[in-house]
Amino acid sequence: MAVVEVQGLSYTYPGADSPALKDISFQVEAGQLLAVIGANGAGKSSLCLALAGLIPTLFHGQMQGAVTVCGLDTRQHHPGQFAGRVGLVLQNPANQLSGMRYTVYEEVAFGLENLGTPRQEMPARIENALQQVGLAGLGERSPYTLSGGQQQRLALASILAMQPNVLVLDEPTAMLDPQGSQALFTIIYKLARAGTTVIIAEHHLEWIASFADRVIALAEGSLFLDGAPGEVLSSPRLLQAGIGWLRYTRAAHLGQDRGVWPVNRALPVTLNQAVKGFQTAQLYLPGQEQDHADPD
């Protein structure tokens, strides 16, 4: 069953000459981890705001089409009605932290208080959220003594504590190191497997290749690719859109011309796929034994 339905979505910001989003349509099933990719200015952030119910109500502008999330039409429901159903994590935690709480624990409690969560339920939900993002034991710290990466994880914990049905993340790894990025993707992957629908706008394609169930690609506000990670991330159309390929994909593409990548094998998007493909090619190079089994 589709939890998110986008039909013919176009949106133009007030005073803008051209639309930020152009006739976009797609659906997202419950428990799916969908990645949104695109070059800067492609429309990723605008799409995230639309999915969170903030466009068009808070940003005004001109919108055509429809966005329905958890059964709520974003044109007919106030953003506050999406709270608790849809959680939005922004790229910069400074734009998300309340600035009204003195400790990490209180910051996570802030959203629960606004939802009217029973007080007796709060401690367990807060501690669980902090544990999930690796901030356990920091509950008494001030949010503003944390590093940028820790603040980003705190922003995520504040959303996770509210247990939304749909989680929308707008480039959440921008302030994280590789270890922190992997930890975040592991968290959201587990959430998706447990039934949370996750939509993440992200420019680090390597994490997307390893964790996403599905990828959509945007260019100049339009959706031009939609499919499995291996299909989308190896498409030549990414090069035309200024997104580029992963290094594994580039290496295999060069290998095809030099006879070290099987011409009938799909281009890889992960290290494991690349290793297997090059190993297979070595088995069948001229002068090599021909009776080896394909390691795949």
Tokens of 206: 């390597």
Q: What is the pLDDT of residue 282?
A: 63
Q: How far apart are CA 50 and CA 63, in angstroms?
A: 10
Residue 53 and residue 86 in contact, taking contact as beta carbons nearer than 8 Å: yes
Among candidate residues 84, 16, 98, the one with its CA nearest the CA of residue 53: 84
Residue 110's SS3 state is helix
Containing 108, the helix (H) or strand (E) segment is: helix 104-115
Q: What is the pLDDT of residue 294?
A: 46
φ, ψ of residue 69 to 5 degrees: the values are -130, 125
Residue 186 and residue 179 in contact, taking contact as beta carbons nearer than 8 Å: no
Specify the DSSP class assigned to residue 40.
T
φ, ψ of residue 164 to 5 degrees: the values are -70, 155
Residue 35 and residue 197 in contact, taking contact as beta carbons nearer than 8 Å: no
For each of the domains in the chain, give its residue range(s) and CATH number, in order of start.
1-85+165-244 (3.40.50.300), 91-163 (no CATH), 247-283 (no CATH)
Spell out the per-residue pLDDT of the chain, length 296, in tens: 799 999 999 999 999 999 999 999 999 999 999 999 999 999 999 999 999 999 988 888 999 999 999 999 999 888 888 888 999 998 887 777 776 778 999 999 988 988 889 999 999 999 999 998 889 989 899 988 888 888 888 999 999 999 999 999 999 988 788 888 888 899 999 999 999 999 999 999 999 999 999 999 999 999 999 999 999 999 999 999 999 999 999 999 999 888 888 888 899 999 999 998 888 766 555 554 444 444 44
Q: What is the pLDDT of residue 183?
A: 87
- Do the bridges between strand 33-38 and strand 166-170 make them parallel or antiparallel, or are there none, so unpaired? unpaired
